[in-house]
Every structure is written in C-alpha cells, then in structure tokens.
Chain A
Amino acid sequence: MSFVEEPVGEKLSAHAPTLDLDEIQAIVLRPRPAPYFGTHVLLRVDNAQAGRAFLRRLAPHIASSANWWNAPHTWLAVGLTYTGLEALGVPKESLQSFPEAFRQGMAARARQLGDEGVNNPKNWGKPYGTGQVHIGVSAFSDSEEKHQRALAIAREQYEGFSGVSALALQHFGAQPSDRNSLGYKDGIDQPPIEGSGVDPLPGQGRPIKAGEFILGYPGEAGVPLPMPQPDILGRNGIYVGYRKYQSRVGAFNRFLHANGSTEEERELIAAKLVGRWRSGAPLTLAPDVDNPALGADPKRNNDFNYANDPNGRQVPFGAHIRRMNPRDTQLSRLTDVNLHRLLRRGSTYGLPYDPNALSEADDEVPRGAIFLFMSAKAMATIEFLQQEWINDGDFIGAGNERDPIIGRQEEAATFTIPREPVRRRLHGIETFNVLKGGEYFFLPSLSALNWLGNLSG
C-alpha cells in the first residue's frame, strides 16, 4: 500500500466486518473520491511470462478494502479479461470454470445485451471488443497530483518492459461539482453490503448478502454463487462490466428545448427523466422545486421510497432511477429487486456538460461516462438490466418505452410523465448516450493476484 492520506470518514458499524477486507480490492468498497481524478489503463499481454512479471510488480501497489471507511482516497485497481487470463497462461480447467458470458466477452454478448444499432460493437472505438484488452488498471484519486503519482506507479510496472503494452490510457474525472456529462450529480444510490463494516445510509434499505457482490460468501439464497476455480483464484474476487458511453449533449439539450420553453420547465423535464434534480435532490422529496442542500446531503438524498407515489406523479415509472432501483414500486413481473443490484463506480471523461451546446457537432465531442458495474454475477445482471429494465418498460408499466438516459432508442420513442388529469407524453427521445466500447473484467483478490503472478509454465 503506497498511499497514506486523510480518511473518508464513514460511520463504522457496531457490527464488525465479516468480509476478508484485506483480500478484497479497494475499488469494491471504497466510495468514489470527491472530487475525483483518474485513469483507466488498458493493456495487452504479448508474452505470458512478461504478463505475470508485470502482475508481480504491480501487486504490492494494489490497495485492499481494509479499513475502507477510513482509508486513503487514492488507489489502484486491476482486472483481467478472459483473453487476458488466457494470455497469462491460466490452466484450462480454471479458464473453463468462468461463466460463459465472461468467456465470450462483452462484444460477443451484444445480442443478450441489446447492444445493437448505434451501440453495435462494430461501431466501438479501438481497442474495445477486439480481444486485445487483457488487463485493465484503474487509478482513482481525489486530487490531480495524487492521481498522477498513482498513475506513474502503474506505468513504472510496464513501461520499459517488453511483453506488456498499453493500448489506451483513458483519463477521467475533474468535472465541476462532480457532475456527469449530462450535468447531473451521480453515483448516489449504492447497494449496502452485509458484513462490510459500516451501517447503510438512510434509504439504502437492508444490507444485501455479500455473496451477491463478492465471490465466496453466501448470497441471498443462502449459498455462494458459482466461483472460478481453484478457490484461491475465485474467492474475494468480483466481476466488472466496463461500459464506455459518449453523451450526445447537443441532442439532449435540443430535446429539453423542444419540450420546455423556460429554464424552469427544462430543468423539471431533466429531473423527470432521471427522478432527481441535477443537484441530486430526489423528486420524491423535492417534487416541485430543486433543493440543492438536500441533493448534497448523503444522509438525506437517498432516504425515500415510492409508497406515496404509486402513480408516478412525482417520479415517472420510466425515470432512470426508478428503473435502476424500483425500491417498493409494484412491478408487473415477479421480481426480487435485491437480486438485480450492482455496485457502480462511474467515471466521467472529456469536457464538462455545457447547457448551451445545441448543435449536432456538440454530439460528437468526446465526453461521456465510463461505468464500472460490479458484482459476483455482473454479466448476468447487466444482461438482465439491459433487456428488462433499460431497453424495455413492460416490467414497470411503461409499455415499450426505454430508459431515457442510457436506453438505446428506436424511431419515434416517447417518455411518459404521469399527470392529472391526463399524462404528458414527450416525443423525440433519442439515444442520448451511445455505447463506444466495453469489456468484462474479473477483479481478483490480492491473494489471487499473487497466484496469477506466480503461475508456472
């Protein structure tokens, strides 16, 4: 552990942690720093020995989740794709023990993910989906200076060595007020994990069994989920779906202008699409006007359910946060909401959101978000979310409508805002975030990292 800094100051639970925190990578439990700065480095392994040597050099710098509630704001994380595990010479039986979707890779799962049309892997930027991304290293920090120091440590482990090459360095972060590329405060609602050592924030709900997120622990059904073999490789690991979106800020703003003639009207529509004002204040608690103080308060900004909003008058059924976590909404399909949650580490890249960007040229400016979706079954959950909760609306009574923020829209898409006496239907919803690349990674525990670095053959 190379970094010693000030603590994040989370409240320690009366319940001692029951997870092997010093084995689990820091990114799994430490919240995203605020503000945040970072880089995702994508690497290719050309030679198994060189790849393992790289992992051995890197391993001492990968932070664990030990004391995560009181740990530094800077860390390095490392993940491996299936082709990466192959390139490292992982034994065949181990390779076969990974789930099919992980083995195939995100690009090959386009059908299950609904990554078609503009989101088709054919349209992705290099090196995503080529099978050449073998290792991903992410540096997160709360200052640019410390981020550069962490990144330099990562680079020192591969630069000047043959057999491992960097394919891309994707910088992110440093947006004003930590807003995302469409101008919203994000990353607010995270699932609470049982045994992680801190109490859930108000509104987070009951802690979910750790095995839903981290391999090797009992899940909601009481038994651990299937885990890569041998045990030392799988235990305390987690899968990550990495999805890079480009925000079509011009199209988003044009949509707001077409449907709202004043700033107030546009901001209300922007809030209805997401279920929160851009400040993060939930519409459920601030239905008519924004409340930035509420949005900024982690003890209050997630403390709500939909019991008093069964008709979607405050938060439309199709709103982004109601889809991604329906909480107590009556769904039209038998669903256990706790089985479909993901830990998210979002990272915004490129220019900040510009409310005055209205042109089609503005749609092509490289800026957007890279999401890291993490769980013990991230592939299955992402496929479920893409099919059921993002690119459909049937499950929540929104018919054929799709998620207005991250859905892939078809022609003549609409967004319905329930209202008295009649609903308002907005036309002209477009695909506001276009998928530009994605990969599935496995984030091994620190012991597994050493196991991988010391493979023979």
Chain B
Amino acid sequence: MATQTLTKPKQDQSVEQKLQRLRELYADAPEIGQAALKNGLSMLTQELAAPGRALTAGRIGARQGKVSELTVFLPFVKGGAMRLRGFLQLLEGNFRAADAVGTVHDMRFVFVDNDTKLLFATAYDGDFDPYIEDFAAKIPNAMDLWLCNFEGYPGMRNPKAAADWIAKHQIAAEAWYVNSPNLTAAETRRLEKIGQAVEELLDKVG
C-alpha cells in the first residue's frame, strides 16, 4: 500500500515539451481533433503541468493512490461460457466471496468474441500477489467455481501457479483514473459507519 513508483518517470519533461509532443501527435489527426487541441489548450496546459499520479500495482496493472485495476481476457474451455453465464445469473448479483475479500470495489464480467472469451475487469485495493495465498486458504472453492471455466487454470490449491496464470492473461490498462484514490473499500465502509453515527448524533441534538 505504501509502495508507490511512477510507471513512466518522465517528470523532467516541461509543459512546453509535452505540448510540443502533443501537437506532433495530432498533426495528422482528423479535423475535429485538431480543432479540439487548439480550443482546449488552456485546460490541457493545467493537466500537463500537474504532477504525475500513475503508479503500478505490483508486477502488472495500473494503480492510482491505493486503488488498482485488473483487466484480463480469459479463454473459455468448451461449455465454459454457458456454465459461467448460468452460474452468474443464479447469483443475481450477490458476491459473498468478494464481500469477504474486502478489497474489491467492483467486478464486471463481459462475454466477448462469440462467447469464446471473458473480459473480466475489477478495481481493487493494493497489490494482488500478497493476498493470493490467503484466497487459496480461505475461498478456494469460490475461486475455482468460476475460474475452472477457463483454459489452463491450475486451481487455487496451487496459489503461486494461479497468480502466474492470472498475470499471464492480464492486460495492463494504458491509463487508469480513480475519483478517490485514497479511499479503499474498507475505508469507505468505515466512513459510511461514521457518517451514520454522526447523523444519529445530530438527530438527537436537533
């Protein structure tokens, strides 16, 4: 959580240099883009002048503040897509294991390429690797139940191999934005509780 390194340590570039580079990139852009660059220059100048916020999430993936992204394309085994779709429909949006993990902000399951692949994308806190053995110890069945539907998945009984398998299919996001980069899932719940307590207190006073 405290480990933070810039992914692209090009902080020595001046705003002028960045703008120059941008003009080069957009020299052959469609007309709409060229006009937008000209008209949007003042706002862009502010963005380009701000200190970089892009970090890395452990071995792969992007991170902002405490929140990381994980995006994977997973190839279904035969029949895997149908099975997983059925399973997800039965869950009706209840993900107890994700609640238990405590670091997961969101998850999306998108079936692509004629149900041959799943695009799975999630926002979570911290780095992925440090907790993989905890997943293996605490929620191996929840993990195996959905990941068994993909080719080459080694199973949670081999946490190191499972982590490597996920990393192998991971595609690092080129850019990653988080509105509240220092609000972890746990902190959000803690603040919710405090907010409620404060409201109750105010209700009594008022």
Q: Give the interface of A toward B (CB within 8 A).
A: 111-114, 116, 220-223, 226, 331-336, 339, 380, 383-384, 386-388, 391-392, 394-395, 397, 399-400, 402, 408
Contacts and interface: CB of A to CB of B under 8 A. Distances in A.
Given A221-B157, A221-B159, A334-B102, A392 B133 contact: no
Interface in B13-66: 66
Q: Interface residue tally of chain B, by bracket?
A: 20 to 34
Contacts, number: 79
B126 A387 contact: yes
16 contacts: A221-B159, A223-B157, A333-B131, A334-B138, A335-B138, A336-B137, A339-B134, A383-B130, A384-B130, A387-B1, A387-B126, A391-B1, A392-B1, A397-B186, A400-B182, A408-B2
B134 A336 contact: yes
Interface string B1-14: 11111000000000
Contacts of A386: 2
Contacts of A399: 187, 190
Q: Which 9 interchain pairs have the tightest Cβ spacing?
A: A332-B186, A391-B2, A336-B137, A392-B1, A114-B2, A333-B102, A384-B130, A334-B101, A111-B3
A31 B106 CA distance: 46
A421 B166 CA distance: 47
Given A332-B189, A408-B2, 14 more contacts: A113-B3, A221-B133, A221-B157, A221-B159, A223-B157, A332-B102, A334-B131, A335-B138, A387-B1, A387-B2, A388-B130, A394-B184, A395-B186, A399-B190
A400 B3 CA distance: 13
A332 B157 CA distance: 23
B3 A339 contact: no
A170 B123 CA distance: 46
A399 B191 CA distance: 10
B160 interface: yes
A392 B127 CA distance: 13
Contacts of A220: 137
A57 to B, nearest CB: 38
A67 B167 CA distance: 44
